[in-house]
Structure 1
């Protein structure tokens, strides 16, 4: 087995989608129904795709929300990283990655809840809800907690000025 430290990080885009009340969209992963962990939409950046384009594609793939129903408010100044726990390395992503490096985007949702449909062709969530932004680090799996704190630290000032 390859040492985790020799593996690269998977390039990804993450989306902090907020509604008019500055609540954040979170979904419960379909592949982990027994967990009480919730997460924001995110996914890999395809070859030749920009992080921005990947974020909008992933948003539609995971939530059914069309790109014309959102405005991009901000993007993270730099990529944020997380490492998989040792027990997951080699079990997900065909063992190619040690974790993810993510460019994050803050998006304002301008639609209605009826525009959200998680039963997509690429369904990842079994349930969804709007959550208080400050609760996000306590809702995610432990190995992503610090990353979520960093996303909040960067994006909360934008929410306070909108």
Structure 2
């Protein structure tokens, strides 16, 4: 729960800063709070697996380690938690490749807007877009890691289900 709240707070601050620089203080406050809460609510469903919440810290660590490495969970007590948590991670409503494509298009549009903003000397565009652009570039850089990680999670879930049997 701490990770969810921390990430929600981070997203809220970054989005609030960008909105505040481009659209004014109130837009920054409202946008930051809205996006921060949205991220926290969405990630709570992924990271707040009921099966994981019943485990101790060392057991959760074993499950996460098995998922990250793509290995099956041979402990029958932890196998249901791994399967539940892995399926929650894989149940993202939008495929990561589609997200990468959309973010790439947004980044191209932002670069064009920044260039036109510099030509027209529009302070809001030239100050706000670089922050958002840096965030998008970081997202595009880390997206390939996300694809490989999803493959490892899926492999771990499949292998664990095969070990458990019908």
TM-score using structure 1 length: 0.24
TM-score using structure 2 length: 0.24
Between Structure 1 and Structure 2, the one with more strand by share is: 1
More contact order relative to length (CA 8 Å, sep ≥ 6): 1
Between Structure 1 and Structure 2, the one with more helix by share is: 2
